[in-house]
Structure 1
Amino acid sequence: MKTQRYTGYRSFSYLEAGTDYPEFTPSAEVDRLPGHDLGVSAGQLARAERLLADNIVVSLHDHPVRLPRDTRTELLEWNRGARLAYGYEGLSRSGLDAVFDNLGWGACESRNGGKWDDVITDLGMRFCDFAHQDYVVRAESVAELRRAHADGRLAVVAGLEGAALIENEIDRLDVLYGLGVRQIGLAYSDANALGSGLRETRDGGLTALGRRAVRRMNQLGIAIDVSHSGDRTALDVIEASDSPVLITHAGARGLWDTPRMKPDEVIRACAESGGMIGIEAAPYTTVSPRHRRHTIESVMDHFRYCVELVGIEHVGFGPDTFFGDHLDLHHVMSGKWGVADTIRGGPEFETVEAVAGLENPGENFRNITRWLVKHDYPDDDIAAVIGGNVLRVLEKIW
């Protein structure tokens, strides 16, 4: 197992909980649920650990915070405070070298990526916590991702799921870049001034302001994500961008017909731009006809579909998980924002308590690597999909 420099730090331990800030009991980041048995042999386990140790492992999309243990009662109050406990210990056991952390949950009261002041607060709170420990480091370049791997640290790339917060101020993209943001989604499911989200019944495509934003993000070196964009908007972004475009967390609509998945046309266009897709694992997203009970097996059905569609060099993983009860989070946010229709509007699936094998950022990539080993993927292919493809694409974008 790769050596990490984590020494036991807990979020905000430089303050007094209950006195300096409201205290919430966070979910366990280790062993919250029983581990998933993939049925791998001792030799396969050893090979998986070697691959994790020898290669730079990157999650294209996660939320590595510890949800409140009583999610349904405390989530919204916890969210407003922006003081979100980070899963340092769980991450130290994950095999990850880098994670794209999509901010905007703390203090975020609006849909589609949050308000400007809220997200700036979220960034500052997160980076203040990072500044009081030396395991997690902020990363803004590929060189810093490589350095984290060499030093036994975890590189965190700051990202945003939606760009509504820039309103009509293109220069706000420069400010976000200056504050360390290196990846932004155009729209977070609902339409904004830049383009349409995947929840819209009519996709108006990329707006004139959106085209200016794409150009500015290309100039700055911000990776553009179309995971939550509508299909027409996604295609317009890919056409307008001079840099490769990312689908950081989604799956294949050709396999599971919901708006949250991407059609073949978008996945192909993304790959042809030089970009890639990260396979999603949030509950009830990447279900498949062969595995209607959402587990690592249904997620990997989407992986295989996308590999066959565009080639293994354009596929990776963006599991989109938390430390805590993701389904309870869905229930709370469905009540607040009405988001369930993008997941439940498709084929019938079996209900689960969690996505077995891909339930939190601390276990995802270890299980993904073990699954790939079990299914006899070559070392070079495994190295590519657990991080090598991300590095290659980022070299072009950043």
Structure 2
Amino acid sequence: MGISYLKVGLGAIVLVAAVGYGALRTGYVAQYVDNSRNVVVEHEPYAISSDTQALHDRLRIADLHNDVLLWGRNISDESSIGHSDLPRFVKGNVGVQIFTSVTKSPRGQNYEKNSAEAADNITLLGRLQSWPSEALNKLSERALLQARRLYALEKKHPEQVKVVHTQEELQAVLDARANGSTMIAGILGTEGGHALDGDIKNVNRLYDGGLRLMGLQHFFDNKLGGSLHGQSKAGLTDFGKEVVQLMEQKEMIVDVAHSSPAVIEDVLAMTTRPIVVSHTGLKGICDTPRNLTDEQVRAISANGGLIGIGFWDAAACDISPKGVADSIEYAVSIAGINSVALGSDFDGSVTTAFDISEYAILTQELLKKGFTEDQIAAVMGENIIKFLLENLPQGESAEENLASSN
């Protein structure tokens, strides 16, 4: 998730006062905030060559980080709001997507330092969306509420969406797509271990709710350890180590996007399974506080991990399709072709130069750089697919409590 939407939040409050409480109840203001935060810069339609489009249509596209479930938007229908919805997934030929829940984000957040005690943007957004009281008061309930939205989409469009929990379920979707289906495999995750509400038992609750990936931190320090943007810059706490150990036992994927350098070092020292950085950039090409050093990238990739390259300004500096391709090229030069992936952060309160329906322009920019078809296939999805087929749980899917409630 990107920069603060404090000003938009204040604007929404003014708008509520102007149009009345009824607008708040209907979600008009929530839609206003969504539209204001998830922006695609205006541009002429990208000209894609027929050869590029043919190649793109043969690819298996996968992405490590999308926050669309946060907004309460109807993603069954195509919209001009935000970056993604079901029809735009199909247009972009996306087959595998990790959907992350966002449960807390400090007001006035910045990339340098934030307090965990700062007022919370997500509480305001939840009120605008009329979340139930349990979701307003418990972060774990917010994660499960957003997970239920994907299960509801699956129930509404069972031929187009499958919530995936295991290697076997992912392979079934891939087989269906190989036979002409446009079904999307959706994997659930959450952005920041504060979604546990400080209770180790909630690892099991989130797992049973369908989540298979968890970021350890977001924009502030939490009970698990220090954030890249927090005050302490500390490593894993004893509680954080306990959580990581349990995640490994349950074959959940550890995501260290937003984690402090000390946390990343601690996680690499104790884990036996590869980890991911779901959405990031590299300081070597875009020197911002948000991004990883070359040394961190090498350490994560050496352990079989994935580096998801983001599309917004603090990750790529240049958000044009060419600029994003530049970041991918640099990451490949550091980590190797098999460790670099897409980490768009679409609908993560960011501005991008293309939406999910326009992924072919990125394929075209990589071709211009001289990437081979196999290299493009790796970055655009095969690396993620291989990682998930090796690291999702092997057993039968957990009791789908959330799915059965929809």
TM-score of the two chains, using structure 1 as the length reference: 0.73
Q: Once the 2 structures are TM-superposed, how far is the Cα of residue 146 of structure 1 from its aligned partner?
A: 3.1
Q: What is the CA distance between 1:59 and its match in structure 2? A: 0.7
SS of 1:362's partner is helix
Determine which of 238, 246, 251 is the counterpart of 1:216.
246
**In structure 1, the residue corresponding to 2:185 is in which secondary structure?**
strand
Task: Give the CA deviation at 1:203.
Answer: 1.4
Q: Tell whether 2:339 aligns with 1:314.
A: yes
1:22 is aligned to 2:16: no
Show CA shifts across 1:208-264 (max 9, x none): 111111111111111111111111111211221111010111010122222210111
Deviation string 1:116-158 (CA, Å, 9 cap, x unpaired) is 2222222224422431222111111233333223232011111
- Residue 243 of structure 1 corresponds to 273
Partner of 1:83: 72
- The answer to whether residue 355 in structure 2 is matched with residue 360 in structure 1 is yes
The CA deviation at 1:84 is 3.1
The residue aligned with 1:344 is none
Residue of structure 2 in register with 1:12 after alignment: none
Aligned pairs for 1:123-202 (under 5 A) are 123-134=147-158, 135-149=160-174, 150=176, 151-202=181-232
Q: Structure 1 residue 110: deviation in Å?
A: 8.5
Partner residue in 1 for 2:61: 57
2:24 is the counterpart of 1:43: no
Paired residue secondary structure (1:285):
helix
CA distance in 2, matches of 1:254, 1:27: 32
Letter in 1 for 2:55: R
Q: Select which of 286, 289, 301 maps to 2:326.
A: 301
SS of match in other structure, 1:175: helix
Q: CA deviation at 1:41?
A: 3.6
Q: 1:139 to 1:279 in 2, by over 3 A?
A: same
Could you say what secondary structure the match of 1:228 adopts? Answer: coil
Task: Provide the residue aligned with 2:368 in structure 1.
Answer: 374
Deviation at 1:389, TM superposition (A): 1.0
Q: How far 1:27 sits from its partner (Å)?
A: 5.6
Change (3 A) 1:317 1:125: closer
Q: Distance in 2 between matches of 1:116 and 1:47?
A: 41
Which range is displaced more, 99-108 or 240-249? Answer: 99-108
- CA–CA distance in structure 1, aligned partners of residues 368 and 326 of structure 2: 15
Pair 1:109-2:128 in alignment: no
Q: Deviations over 1:43-86 (max 9, x none)?
A: 3333333x32xxx3211112245xxxxxxxxxxxxx6xx63322
| Structure-to-structure mapping, 1:1-16, within 5 angstroms | none
In 2, Cα distance between equivalents of 1:186 and 1:217: 11
For 2:381, the equivalent position in structure 1 comes to: 387
Q: How far does residue 380 in structure 1 lie from its aligned partner after superposition?
A: 1.6
Q: If the length of structure 2 is used for normalisation, what is the TM-score?
A: 0.72
In structure 2, what is the Cα distance between the partners aligned to 1:143 and 1:249? 26
User: For 1:381 and 1:257, how far apart are their aligned partners in 2?
Assistant: 26
State the SS of the aligned residue for 1:183: strand
Counterpart CA distance in 1 for 2:306 and 2:336 is 10
Report the count of equivalent residues.
323
The residue type paired with residue 273 of structure 2 is: S
Q: SS in structure 2 opposite 1:59?
A: strand
| CA displacement 1:304-328 (0-9 Å, x = unmatched) | 1111112111001111112xxx7xx
- Are 1:64 and 1:361, in contact at CA under 8 Å, matched by a contact in 2? no
**Structure 2 CA distance for partners of 1:45 and 1:128, relative to 1, 3 Å:** closer
Look up the equivalent residue of 1:367 and give its one-letter code.
Answer: I
Cα distance, 1:32–1:229 mapped onto 2, change above 3 Å: closer
Deviations 1:143-197 (A, max 9, x none): 3333223232011111101110213321211111111101110000211010111
Change (3 A) 1:98 1:35: farther
Counterpart AA for 2:56: A
User: 1:261·1:285 contact (CA, 8 Å) conserved in 2?
Assistant: yes
For residues 252 and 368 of structure 1, what CA distance do their matches in structure 2 show? Answer: 18
Answer yes or no: is the 8 Å Cα contact 2:308–2:342 preserved in 1: yes
Structure 2: give runs of 5+ residues left out of the alignment.
1-21, 76-84, 105-120, 126-134, 393-406
CA distance in 1, matches of 2:144, 2:44: 36
Looking at structure 2, the residues matched to 300 and 195 of structure 1 have their Cα atoms a distance apart, in angstroms, of 33
Instruction: Kindly report the root-mean-square deviation, in angstroms, between the aligned alpha carbons of the 2 structures.
Output: 3.0
Structure 1 runs (4+) deviating above 4 angstroms are 25-29
Gaps of 5+ in 1: 1-17, 66-78, 288-292, 331-353
Partner of 2:11: none
Structure number with higher helix proportion: 2
What is the CA-CA distance between 1:267 and the residue it aligns to?
A: 0.9
Partner of residue 121, structure 1: 145
For 1:362 and 1:314, how far apart are their aligned partners in 2?
24
